[in-house]
Structure 1
């Protein structure tokens, strides 16, 4: 009986993983084509029963995590020089992937918290989950663009450097534009105030990324 349950679990896991081949590109396409609709969709799906949620897409956190996993795989395939990873703790592929997942999850978290604060809503696990899930749908393309820019940059030639910079600018501008429109529409803010709120949140996310990276580097420094 235990063996049959194990086989059933493996069968379900295999189906889930294989289904990503279809639903990941579909989710990415929908997130890029109509990010506002995907963010609304994320909120609506959470009101369904657990077994009925996200039947035709990937769940938002898994979508973000798989995006980072794909970029990490591309990095391993095209960039053999790992000397850019300064702290020895991040030299491990699993640790580096976890670090990236945490760092890029900070952006949807900050956006979700700011949305709740503007609404005057209480911030707890129940109220934070819907906006966080919706934000993951647009954080994934942003993370993809930024991470790919980093991979291209490490090719170390002038053409790659220009391409990396262009990719980074496009990713940041797209993310800021999408978030500004979302804030303006959902909080009845003017575009200027919405843009300011989004830019501040992005800068806070970058600051958090730098702080975490610095803290890791310091803990791995000789004599610590």
Structure 2
């Protein structure tokens, strides 16, 4: 009986992983062309029964983690950029490095989600924060992917990828900015100018928090060497 349960679990796991080959590209495409729809989708799906949630796309946190894994793989494929021998021991494995990236880059959707909850004068709890955070994971994942590739190209020695990297980074910021501005304007019922100001300030706050978290993580890991 235990063996059959294990076999059934393996079957479900295999099907889940294989299904990503379809639903991951689909989630990327829909997030790219219609980010506001994806934010609404994330909110609405949370109201369904757990077994019925996100049945036609990947869940937001999973999508973010897989995108970070993809970005990490692309970064390591760029020549002369990373030397694994310089990483702290705890980050020498793909899993640990992915977790570190997940913690750092989850700050971006977290800051935007907290902003929405606060501006709506809603009590900040784990439950009230979850819907906007889930919605933000879809757009943050694409931003981190493209902007990360752009930064990696810009860091290639001898400025080989500087122009291409700068274009990719600018495109990522522009796309992410327009999505957030439209989201703030729609959900908070404020003007375009106010939405732009809100996005710029929160984006800068998120970058500062990301920098602080990254530095703190780096110092902690350095002490573990």
Q: Which residue of 2 aligns with 1:196?
A: 197
- Per-residue CA deviation, residues 15-43 of structure 1 (Å, 9 max, x unaligned), is 01110000001000000111111111111
**Partner residue of 2:124?**
123
CA gap of 1:94–1:153, structure 2 versus 1, over 3 A, is: farther
User: Within 2, Cα distance between the matches of 1:55 and 1:223?
Assistant: 42
CA distance in 2, matches of 1:223, 1:109: 28
Note the C-alpha offset of 1:221: 4.8
- How far off is 1:216 after superposition? 2.7
Mark the runs of 5 or more structure 2 residues left unpaired by the alignment. Answer: none
* CA gap 1:85/1:97 in 2 versus in 1, 3 angstroms: farther
**Contact 2:150/2:168 (CA < 8 Å) preserved in 1?**
yes
1:77 aligns to 2:95 (yes or no) = no
In the TM superposition, what are the counterparts of 1:171-182 in structure 2 within 5 Å?
171-182=172-183
Is the 1:82–1:91 Cα contact (8 Å) retained in structure 2? no
Range moving further from structure 2, 63-72 or 213-222? 213-222
Decide whether the 8 Å contact of 1:38 with 1:134 is kept in 2: yes
1:98 matched to 2:76: no
Instruction: Using structure 1 for the length normalisation, give the TM-score.
Output: 0.92
Match of 2:151 in 1: 150
**Cα distance between partner residues in 2 of 1:172 and 1:140:** 12
SS in 1 for 2:56: coil
The superposition leaves residues 30-76 of structure 1 with CA deviations (integer Å, 9 ceiling, x where unpaired) of 00111111111111111111111111110011011100111112223
Report SS of the residue matched to 1:208: helix
Q: CA deviation at 1:81?
A: 4.8
- 1:202 is displaced (CA, Å) by 1.2
Name the CA distance, whole Å, in 2 between partners of 1:17 and 1:222.
37
Partner Cα distance (1:153, 1:176) in 2? 21
Q: Is the CA contact 1:79–1:151 (under 8 Å) kept in the aligned structure 2?
A: no
Check conservation: 1:79, 1:154, Cα contact below 8 A.
no
The answer to whether the 8 A contact 1:39-1:137 is kept is: yes
Regions of 4+ moved over 6 Å:
none
CA contact (8 A) 1:180 1:194 kept: yes
The answer on whether the counterparts of 2:181 and 2:196 sit within 8 Å (CA) in structure 1 is yes
In 2, Cα distance between the equivalents of 1:117 and 1:48? 25
Q: In the alignment, which residue of structure 2 is the partner of 1:169?
A: 170
Please identify, of 79-88 and 113-122, the stretch whose mean Cα deviation from structure 2 is larger. Answer: 79-88
Alpha-carbon RMSD: 2.2
Which residue is equivalent to 2:25?
A: 25
- 2:163, 2:208 → 1: CA distance? 24
| Corresponding residue pairs, total | 224
Gaps of 5+ in 1: none
